[in-house]
Structure 1
């Protein structure tokens, strides 16, 4: 999996910290006694120990005596234990060798000589996270599990996979790239490029945001190359290069290991030492690569990029300015730069937001905008997208003037205090994946010699910052701006829109392919054909998997974790669901929903997501959004609004549409949350056309990127919208229909028609929602001492919501009455065309089963049998797609198949269509062991740890209480092989109707496919 890029967060975070609540039982002196300095543990020496009482953890820094490998252990009373092995993997070029090696290491090893032990372990484990990821200069292999046996099973597999991989040549061809006949049974069929990573990166490069980001990185930091791989270069990589890269980089001396949780450190180290002790110590070279130099002056790079068909081409310039801003090893300076980034760009009164976005010079910040710590230097970027060529040309002058003005005017003290409040409150928010979050926070700096213990000393960093700010005030920030930005050289990067970009990419690939094929002799072509046949045969071979460790069905508890959620009346027609938690850590978590499917007309359905965004974007009739935002940041941990559709556990036909609002605060600030929400719901100023216009432009700015990054989800959503009322509504809210509506909003916005086409509709929604308190449900999670006070606050809130009734909707059809689109032959088939080098496919069927039907449990178990015994081989290994599988939604009764970044979507649809018959024909080969492992996979998610704010939400949001969840749990555990056969016959083979969707590069489609073109 590629994790070489991410959106740069505009919210400052303390270096190296994840969210996590402290507990009162932590004893720092006892922890220091537990890990004395210089203590020898299983071949390791304890070098440093850092108690962090405010997070109830102890960090232990150790070194392996024989190899010099570093180990970081986080001792914390958390049953969700984490392990990772990390290697420094500077890429030598753009061929993606670190990424392809990440894939091939997991295709078999000395101790586990089977095909794809990584995927085979997915159904032998109860892990709640298991993956491998390639970043720009390191590769890591993390997992998390609450089961001790599982932990050491996975550690054994991971260590052997990375240190002793088979690295078979056929795995390189399968996972990396290969030339192969389009039809592997016909040696005269055309030769084409295939390979899992090759197709993955074609899809990645089709994401406009990623393309901008990777070209930016290659320009400012060319020595980092492209670790994921550029398809234009991947086909230059040869198998010996892969083997050499592993030999050079996958050595304990070039590794780091990480453990977290409540399991004993000694056993962790014993297990690792057993693997490491066979290696010697390698001399460690300086492996931190450097960016370009700006010593001689500013530098400018301009490249062409793709066009977004959803917005006018004349506003598709993207430009950024970047400065080098010190070393990431200076943790305190890095922290101050993150705070400065927040002050400059995050929020409605931030100078860059006001002068760039709100002024309509640009639509949004660019994906590389913000402060990022790279291997050797911090880079601070101010970038934007959605600008004209003229604005791009003047961008340096515009940004310089904004920075000078910020220096002259300074930053209000309450905004700095708001940042401090957000960071300190964030430390109190308990997370169910704290260990993984901590790993991801420290890893990028740790591999480049940034001290992970110093990154965890957040209290010292914060105290130092507060003291300096109290004594120096704004000079902290003005000096940073002057030193790094106004008096420093910068790098300007611009991407210009080219309407022929996708065609040029396709032409380049065809030219590269033709050049390779022309050089082949008849003997070469025969070798390629034979190799393809051999690879296909190996993919079909039955394997002896007895060498792989596995949990058993007995490791799944018969009883699920019940959540104590007390339901009571609130006011005359609302309900309260309260949960007392000792883990709330002085915080109150609040949620409210209002069921609106019987109140909102279908004509307003697509406006609802915009409406919820408006609530926290426009301000009220008496207060600006900037002023409201200051209050939100000063007094709360954030306010969120959304709209979603679901159904009840016993009724999949009737949709339940809900508005949802939420917030979190310190217990003594809960009245601020309630007060803010009352004003936002009742007084949002929908006549604020400037803010509304800015919001619509921002929402429309990333449609293509969001679809390409989640194409299988959009394909499935669109397909199921023709067979399920719930799915149809969901597609209007967050699927293809919402994307189309956003394009329409953009057109109305550009024509100045908001006053007639949008604002009246938003006001009508507000009028409907504020007509009374019926159908409201509230959820509170807090400690026992605060509950009565918070309930009293809610009672006041409910009393203030009711207003006069709204005008009758007359004969307008309501959302509850929505009708499915008519499909002539019972099966809807469509191609959704989008600028992309790859495709996504989905096939969906409506089973009519509710959450508590026995047949649904059998179908859910069947999805795992199909995934592991058929679809992984057919769609990924043979078809070359990055991923594929099947899913069953217990709530809406939809059975779906999907493929992800798929070069052969029609082939995948054929595989999906035959899966029911395959299941029936193969039922005799399904063993009790297969059945148990399918159940293990399901319970990975069912029993995954929950955070405090997530506990009880299945009941509150969907009506699935403890008894219903236990009933479903029992049904899953009791599924038998015969149940699988019967369900396959009834719901897959015997099912009529459904949908088949191909999204992306649709190519030539059969005549019975409709076409929806989003590329125009």
Structure 2
């Protein structure tokens, strides 16, 4: 067994793997071993780190040649059975035979990945075996292709005259993806900014998916899924000798090396700048070559070389507070080769300075000015995952009459910034964030690290340079010291003077939904029109075969499964100390946190007046974004960026110990912050300013922030990512108190409230607007006066990523297991609770600062000052059995049933039942047979919720 990397010298060969490079990355406490399997041509990267959550992934470079979604459908089909495991969907069947902390597969624009992670060493071996056999020896059956990709099928299999429809998991998934207009925008931007290298949609477009054949899928597999085109990753405390031996004997040793798939070309640059023509130039949607699927574009404008423009339409968003602000505009720049590691690092700092934070030039000129309401994520910021890196400035909530102004406004801001540069303290704040990011750890660190390096590895980049962040920072500092105009020159070269840029304008069209429906009918008619009578009979025959196969009971004995012997009987202990400080409970957690200190406080708001509960989420969102204690919001934002990793507030509700599930649950306001050890005094100073003297009178600032929330977090596009959770919250709202608060704080009810609020405080009638704003500010102050008192706080200080549920006396056992904490004793319910996590070197000074902080926090005036008032009853029940109309072409549904309290003896059985239902019954019925992208169940105290999506 290989115990460490000391025996891994460059040139040594272990189980067919030749070691090509070994190096340490001190900032990540990591040793990297790069290997090459000589017989098969596969590359392997082992990331050795003291972490029990071991991670594995296989990655292939997969470049699409059309819009049929062939890489995406292949990703699904590969996981539907293999040579050693000839069962339907071993991937999902392993969910109930494993302790995996992560299992998935991803299709990117130019790569496909199959990652997994687990903390069980036997489980790791089992899962690697299943995954490796799946990707290198898949079955690729035709029925699996029909299920996962697309198929024609009678609406009613029992009726021979029933009309044919298109079904398929990926087909439905991509209909759902493009129901989100910002996903449509993102795809159009990528296809048109980089038309030669990324002109096709790897995920597939519903118009083109029905053109894909089973034979083409198999050919693509044989062209791209060879070990010579693979990069294999492993991470953590794994048995490297056994792992390498298995890969060699069971998989890679059965192949012979060949040439890998062609590399993705660097996008040819548009070399001349030209103003946008004022007269639309109608062109083919295939001009320039490989530009794809602007199916709703009504114009495509381009100068012969240089700046180009695309206009397209989308579904109207009924959730908008102001329908006149429905425009979305993006300006995108092609930057440089992803292999230019340092250049991209320097550009990432410049681009953050341009967009991030309240003092950023683009934020002030585009959002604070009122031209737009929020950034249009995911089309915003730097994209470092394609061969040619890109920068996007995307703005949503633009007035229809202003859409033509955005492009010029952005360029004017960039030109001005190229002249004036940035204040030195803002540069220091961004570098401070980089330093904190290096030190941060997480439960899924291995997975996130592999995802972060995957694109550079995919294009053959320098892994040492990519991981050596400290060297990059030091070089950046040296360049800036040598040339004070270094940042301005980057802006001038890559943005202001860059002719390779694309503007996209997206506007709503009332006819969009009807157009989509007609396109769907056309797809079916086109597919059916190609069939002869014999072909139609074959469709019915195959559909019935698939339905029978989906219902067939299988022998799963070939799949590996953990036994009780393989599972540790106890979780890892995470010791902590409970004490008192200033009359409030304090939890201290000593842990290796790499020089970071984490702080948490819970303010008990269970007795908050009922009419204020719905305002708590917006209060929490505004809490860390206002001016305070005589400082402007820009000054406070800068100080927070310079001295903390984050400072925020969030609502928090947990079920109590009372068996009556309708009894009011525990409601808290959760305050959190973290920083470097040396910054602890400043962190508490900033917290104190926030708690004591937030500026709730800055009407323009509050209006801007509320509009950002409504246009961003609560828009139909954002809701689509978690629409099934919205359905679950609504369905569970009347079953228990926690369900009611979840709906109120993060469900459909909160979304509707935020739209009403945005309308009220932006009312064109000055008198009504002023009255609404005064009422809103009064409620914000009332929440602050009620919650932010010393006797309402509980404290936690720690040096580990903030992953624990802090409501210790009301903690859910599911959280206990997830965060690997021991059972906690019940303690009295004080008003305010605190927690500190950190290394011993940092906790002593942190406790002193915390003591000063408590002394500065206003005293409680509730009762005797030591006891919280009686919990306020929940708001009245909501209307259920509802259909919520949103601009999606797919549906998100939920049914919720009563369940016992977590203290009930049968509650663990409900947890097991939910897990078994998901993989054994719901997945086959909802995904395999129904064709939806996903579905399942979730149990919580009082609620057993079922859901499906897309």
**Contact 1:580/1:783 (CA < 8 Å) preserved in 2?**
yes
Corresponding position of 1:298: 307
Runs of 4+ in 1 over 6 A off after TM superposition: none
Question: For 2:875 and 2:786, how far apart are their aligned partners in 1?
Answer: 22
Q: Which residue of 1 aligns with 2:232?
A: 257
Query: TM-score under structure 2 normalisation?
Result: 0.87
What is the total number of aligned residue pairs between the two structures? Answer: 857
Alignment of 1:175-214 (within 5 A): 175-214=148-187
1:771-829: CA deviations, max 9, x gaps? 55231000111222433432232222222222574999xxxx99721254277xxxx42
Are 2:136 and 1:136 aligned? no
Candidates 620, 625, 639, aligned match of 2:633: 625
Deviates more, 1:288-297 or 1:33-42: 288-297
Q: CA deviation at 1:832?
A: 1.4
Find the partner of 2:211 among 236, 241, 248.
236
Does the 8 Å CA contact 1:601/1:815 hold for their aligned counterparts? no
The answer for the alignment partner of 1:154 in structure 2 is 127
Aligned equivalent of 2:736: 724
SS in 2 for 1:231: coil
In 2, the alpha carbon distance for the partners of 1:870 and 1:56 equals: 43
| Contact kept? 1:73, 1:260, Cα under 8 Å | yes
Deviation at 1:310, TM superposition (A): 1.8
Q: Give the counterpart of 1:829 among 866, 873, 881.
A: 881
For residue 67 of structure 1, give the secondary structure of its aligned residue in structure 2: coil
1:892-971 matched pairs, under 5 angstroms: 892-901=941-950
Deviation track 1:427-455 (CA, whole Å, cap 9, x = no partner) reads 22222221111101100121112222220
Q: How do 1:699-714 and structure 2 match up within 5 A?
A: 699-702=709-712, 703-714=715-726
Unaligned runs of 5+ in 2: 272-304, 793-830
- Match among 399, 403, 414 for residue 392 of structure 1: 403
Deviation at 1:525, TM superposition (A): 2.7
Partner of 2:291: none
For residues 847-862 of structure 1, what are the structure 2 equivalents within 5 Å?
Answer: 847=899, 849-862=900-913
**Offset at 1:556?**
2.3
Contact 1:724 1:820 in 2 (8 A): no
The alignment status of 1:640 with 2:692, answered yes or no, reads no
Displacement of 1:289 in angstroms is 3.6
8 Å CA contact 2:189, 2:332 repeated in 1: no
C-alpha displacement of 1:846: 1.8
Say which SS state the counterpart of residue 829 (structure 1) adopts: coil
SS of equivalent residue, structure 1 residue 731 = helix
CA distance in 1, matches of 2:776, 2:359: 25
Partner of 1:733: 745
Residue 719 (structure 2) pairs with residue 746 (structure 1): no
Please state if 1:80 is matched with 2:129. Answer: no
Give 1:840's match in structure 2, choosing from 882, 888, 892. 892
Secondary structure of the equivalent of 2:263? coil
Q: 1-side partners of 2:372 and 2:340: how far apart? A: 33
SS in 2 for 1:47: strand
Indicate whether 1:215 and 2:188 are aligned: yes
Q: 1:417 aligned to 2:466? A: no
Contact 1:602 1:814 (8 Å CA) reproduced: no
Aligned counterparts of 2:530 and 2:115: Cα–Cα separation in 1: 42
* Counterpart residue number, 2:260: 284
Q: 1:135-191 CA distances to partner (integer Å, 9 max, x unpaired)?
A: 111101011112222112111111111111111100011111111111222222222
| Per-residue Cα deviation, 1:741-774 (whole angstroms, up to 9, x for no partner) | 1110221132052423422221221222245523
Report if the CA contact (8 A) 1:64-1:70 is conserved: yes
Cα distance between partner residues in 1 of 2:410 and 2:885 = 38
- Distance in 2 of aligned mates of 1:584 and 1:731: 35
Equivalents in 2 of 1:118, 1:571: separation in Å? Answer: 53
The CA deviation at 1:60 is 1.3
Alignment of 1:529-678 (within 5 A): 529-572=540-583, 574-581=584-591, 583-598=592-607, 600-651=608-659, 652=661, 653-678=663-688
Q: Deviations over 1:502-545 (max 9, x none)?
A: 22112110122133334444433322222222111111111111
**Equivalent residue for 1:433?**
444
Once residues 96 and 496 of structure 2 are traced to their aligned partners in structure 1, the CA distance between those partners, rounded to angstroms, is: 56
Tell me the equivalent position of 2:118. Answer: 145
User: Deviations 1:890-934 (Å, cap 9, x if unpaired)?
Assistant: xx2211111111xxxxxxxxxxxxxxxxxxxxxxxxxxxxxxxxx
Partner of 2:791: 773
Residues 644, 539 of structure 1: alpha-carbon distance in 2 compared, 3 angstrom cutoff? same
Give the aligned partner of residue 814 of structure 2: none
Does the CA contact (< 8 Å) of 1:723 and 1:820 recur in 2?
Answer: no
Kept in 1: contact 2:397–2:711 (CA 8 A): yes
Once the two structures are superposed, residues 11-57 of structure 1 have per-residue CA deviations (whole angstroms, 9 ceiling, x without a partner) of xxxxxxxxxxxxxxxxxxx9774321111111121111211123221
Asked if 1 retains the 8 angstrom alpha-carbon contact of 2:235 and 2:446, the reply is yes
Any residues of structure 2 matched to 1:798-837 within 5 Å, and which? 798-803=854-859, 805=861, 816-821=872-877, 828-837=880-889
Q: Is the 8 A contact 1:347 1:629 kept in 2?
A: yes
Structure 1 stretch displaced more, 344-353 or 61-70: 61-70
Map of 1:939 onto structure 2: none
Q: Deviations over 1:258-307 (max 9, x none)?
A: 11112233332222222112222222353214446422221111111222
- Matched position secondary structure for 1:449: coil
Q: Distance in 2 between matches of 1:878 and 1:521?
A: 26
CA distance in 2, matches of 1:571, 1:419: 35
Report if the CA contact (8 A) 1:185-1:533 is conserved: no
Alpha carbons 1:601, 1:814 under 8 Å: kept? no
| Counterpart position of 1:66 | 39
Q: 8 Å contact 1:144–1:436 — kept in the other structure? A: yes
For 2:100 and 2:569, the matched residues in 1 are separated by: 18
Q: CA 1:65–1:75 in structure 2 vs 1: closer, same or farther (change >3 Å)?
A: same
Q: Distance in 2 between matches of 1:815 and 1:522?
A: 70
**C-alpha separation in 1, matches of 2:213 and 2:100:** 34
- State the SS of the aligned residue for 1:872: helix
The whole-number CA distance in structure 1 between the counterparts of 2:842 and 2:264 is: 51
C-alpha separation between the residues in 2 aligned to 1:278 and 1:769?
65
2:478 to 459, 462, 467: 467
SS of structure 2 residue aligned to 1:167: coil
Q: Provide the residue aligned with 1:3 in structure 2.
A: none
Does the 8 Å contact 1:850/1:893 carry over to 2?
Answer: yes
1:650 shift after superposition: 4.6
Uncovered stretches (5+) of structure 1, i.e. residues with no partner = 1-29, 902-1016
Report the Cα distance in structure 1 between the residues aligned to 2:848 and 2:319, rounded to whole angstroms: 48
Distance 2:93 2:518 in 1: 38
Instruction: State how far apart, in whole Å, the 2-side matches of 1:696 and 1:85 are.
Output: 43
Distance 1:102 1:515 in 2: 26
In structure 2, relative to structure 1, the CA distance for the partners of 1:292 and 1:212 (3 Å cut) is farther
The answer to whether 1:348 aligns with 2:399 is no
Q: Specify the SS of the correspondent of 1:430.
A: coil
In the alignment, the residues of structure 1 paired with residue 76 and residue 915 of structure 2 have an alpha-carbon distance, to the nearest angstrom, of 22
* RMSD of aligned alpha carbons: 2.0
1:880 aligns to what? 931
CA distance in 2, matches of 1:682, 1:282: 67
Partner of 2:810: none
Q: Equivalent residue for 2:65?
A: 92
Distance 1:451 1:787 in 2: 39
Q: Is 1:271 equivalent to 2:246 in the alignment?
A: yes
Match among 4, 8, 11 for residue 38 of structure 1:
11
Secondary structure of the residue that 2:655 maps to in structure 1? strand
